[in-house]
A and B are shown apart, each in its own frame.
Chain A
Amino acid sequence: MALWRTGGFAEDSWTRLADDTPAPAEGAVVVSLRRWLAEREALSQRKAPVGVSVEAGADAQAHLSDLADRPLVALAFAKFADGRAFSYARLLRDRHGFKGELRAAGDVLIDEIPLMLRCGFDAFDVTDAPTLAALEAGRLPGPALHYQPASVAGERPAGSRPWLRADISQRKL
């Protein structure tokens, strides 16, 4: 697995904690939503950052506002075709003012990454080999022009229609 951010591959400084592993005193950790909700107070006492990882599901939606102040939220795609996390991402960014790192995890594939970026994801846990290869080659597929505004920096209005957007950096196919 590798971590990719818009700028390129990066070292992952976050440790994922299983629900029954005690939180270490030092270092950035990611806990499950369930654990965050149960141990929120204790975890908030930590000096080091605590991120939260969310599985797709009904309760994810109900708790998006609880996550707004986290430094990192990871949204898992159990299957790339389960599109709920696209809406979670937009709600987190646009409605709840989430400013931290928004990470896509699970079934993350190259053809979906451009859509995820537009919904406000800015980091990706990637395991799929062709996806890794494409990212290494700097290939992000898809049009650099868009017919709707989205939750992402790095786009500018384009043309006369108020909702048109174009990528600022020209990406190549």
Chain B
Amino acid sequence: MYHYDDFDQAFVAARVAQFRDQVARRLSGELTEEQFRPHRLMNGLYLQLHSYMLRVAVPYGTLNARQMRKLADIARAYDRGYGHFTTRQNIQYNWPALKHVPDILAELAAVEMHAIQTSGNCIRNVTADHFAGVAHDEIADPRPYAEILRQWSSLHPEFSFLPRKFKIAVNGAAHDRAVIQAHDIGLQIVRDEAGELGFTVYVGGGLGRSPFIGRKVREFLPERDLLGYVEAILRVYNLEGRRDNKFKARIKILLHEKTLETLKDEIEAEFAERDATLLDLPQSEVARVAAFFAPPALEPKKPGSDRVERRKGKDARFASFFAANVTAHKQPGYVVVTVSLKPIGAPPGDASADQMDAVADLAEDYSHDEIRVSHEQNLILPHVALDDLPAVYDRLASVGLATPNAGQISDIIACPGLDYCTLATARSIPVAERIAQKFGDGAKAKAVGPLKIKISGCINACGHHHVGHIGILGLERAGEETYQITLGGSGDETAAIGQIVGPGFSSENVVGAVETLVETYMGLRTSEAETFLDAFRRVGLAPFKEALYERSAGSDI
């Protein structure tokens, strides 16, 4: 993984000192809240109803044991003993005191971490595929590019006061695990006919109140041009993005109002004028950064493991864990283990300090000191020898982290909702908990197969409901929580915005509605191999609509 050199370390230290000074000036009253706001946001600090909330970046989702232990220490010392892993490869602390935040940032800097640009109207922390470097369908590791973009965007003098936040994601595999088409800029690594590496560039994706799937602005951008082209996009956006209405300020709206063709032409014109000598990526620099992400030297192993087979034979729960949470590694004899942060009946994405420490220990003992954070709010041990899997599983189970539901119906993404969030119109965590309880993590969930449910507590869509196979949006109607259901959303390379199935459901009935949807799917699928999303794409809304509103009771029309 990437390691700071003297320059990086000095930069982060200076940034902490700068923020310490800003906090002191805020506490003394010299800075008004309005003046302080953009500075605290550029350091990941939100003001919630009762407290500040600090969002720490886990750049492109990669961290080591020492960093994870530091996150645990911070949770203990400055928070209430836990943290919340989010859909943007961040961890959030919900209860820090303003006066402690500079100290927290200093502690983070000691382990090469920071909270720079995790919020605010700037270029946010760059995200990437959480299976980067281990996926067998990978064209190239996206992290060197994410790291280069992270550096280039850090305190960018021109782009620190954009019309709105700006999110960039990079994916390096054939399968899109980084939801790139729901980002302001999505970069897909590709190779051209000559085998040269480059990017297909998408612009203008985004969720929120007006969801859009990103549009392709460049089929093939040579690697060398990455920074020049991204800068061109940002300059056009900074100059022309709307500043009169924050709900219309994202680049997706600019694209929509200008049309794709015009925006594309403006980006290309700006790109043509760039100073190539300053921003062209030299191959040597890419190679230098890429070397940090070279895979660890894994001892060659034979592909199967008798130990795992024996355990699967006598332990059904282990077998379920193996089926759901274990993914092939590109090197035979190794696997990628997903540590589900979705135990049945608990808030999605939360981890206690002790759990973080346990994962850190496991990473050191079994995963070459590497951990990943996924946008699906789970943790990942990326390099586990197959033979070690039973031991890893037992240790995860001992701290409540062996829930065998990765990718299944109870592996739900949910935003904080009305329980924590000032903007919420409905609760989302309790709905997630009840759905998870209904299907569990056993045979019933397994029979349903891969199915992504995503829940947001208001139209801001922090829970990604638009791209859930089943999306649930909590609204308030006449003082009652109402849940609108969308079907067929998808966040991968076949990205789509879900379609509203019909009138919403009460909190009481929404779980039953999901059950009806699942039963309908299981009744009409051609075989177990046809997933919910595939089936929906074949049959459309009609059978689901009929099941919900014509046949079953429980709808609240």
Chain A interface residues toward B at CB < 8 A: 58, 61, 80-84, 86-88, 90, 94-95, 109, 111-112, 114-116, 118-119, 130, 141-150, 158-164, 173
Contacts and interface: CB of A to CB of B under 8 A. Distances in A.
Nearest to B35: A109
**Which of A82, A88, A95, A143 gathers most chain B CB within 10 Å?**
A143
B238 A87 contact: yes
Nearest to B5: A159
Q: Closest 7 CB pairs between A and B?
A: A83-B161, A143-B14, A118-B157, A115-B157, A149-B278, A86-B158, A147-B151
B275 A94 contact: yes
A111 B31 CA distance: 10
A86 B152 contact: no
A159 B288 CA distance: 13
A144 B155 CA distance: 11
Contacts of A141: 18, 21-22
B273 A95 contact: yes
Given A80-B161, A115-B157, A119-B158, A160 B11 contact: no
A130 B151 contact: no
A117 to B, nearest CB: 8
A162 B155 contact: no
Interface string B355-374: 00000000000000000000
A160 B158 contact: no
16 contacts: A61-B239, A80-B35, A83-B160, A84-B238, A86-B161, A141-B21, A141-B22, A143-B11, A143-B15, A145-B7, A147-B153, A147-B154, A150-B158, A162-B282, A163-B152, A173-B18
Contact of B239 (A80, A87, A95, A160): A87
Contact of A83 (B11, B39, B152, B159): B159
Nearest to A118: B157
Contacts of B161: 80-83, 86, 112
Given A95-B273, A143-B18, A162-B282, 19 more contacts: A58-B240, A80-B35, A80-B38, A81-B121, A83-B159, A83-B161, A83-B238, A87-B238, A111-B22, A114-B157, A115-B158, A143-B14, A143-B15, A143-B155, A147-B152, A160-B288, A161-B151, A163-B278, A164-B7
B158 A87 contact: yes
A90 B25 CA distance: 30
B27 interface: no
B99 interface: no
B156 interface: yes
Size category, B interface: 35 or more
Contact of A158 (B7, B35, B162): B7
A95 B239 CA distance: 15
Contacts of A145: 7, 10-11, 14
A41 B151 CA distance: 46
Interface of B: 5-7, 10-11, 14-15, 17-18, 21-22, 25, 30-31, 35, 38-39, 121, 151-163, 227, 235, 238-240, 243, 273, 275, 278-279, 282, 285, 288
B182 to A, nearest CB: 24
Nearest to B278: A149
Contacts of B240: 58
A163 B158 CA distance: 15
Contacts of A142: 14, 18, 155
Contacts of A150: 157-158
B158 A90 contact: yes
Contacts of A119: 157-158
Nearest to B42: A111
B243 A163 contact: no
B157 A130 contact: no
B35 to A, nearest CB: 6
A84 B235 CA distance: 9
Contacts of B288: 160
A82 B162 CA distance: 7
Contacts of B30: 130
**Which of A58, A112, A161 gathers most chain B CB within 10 Å?**
A161
A111 B39 contact: yes
Contacts of B21: 141, 173
A114 B160 CA distance: 12
Contact of B155 (A58, A146, A173): A146
Nearest to B20: A173
Contacts of A112: 161
A160 B285 contact: yes
Contact of A144 (B14, B39, B160): B14
B301 to A, nearest CB: 37
Contacts of B156: 147-148
Contacts of B279: 149, 163
Nearest to B39: A111
A148 B152 contact: yes
Given A141-B18, A173-B18, A161 B285 contact: yes
Contacts of B227: 163
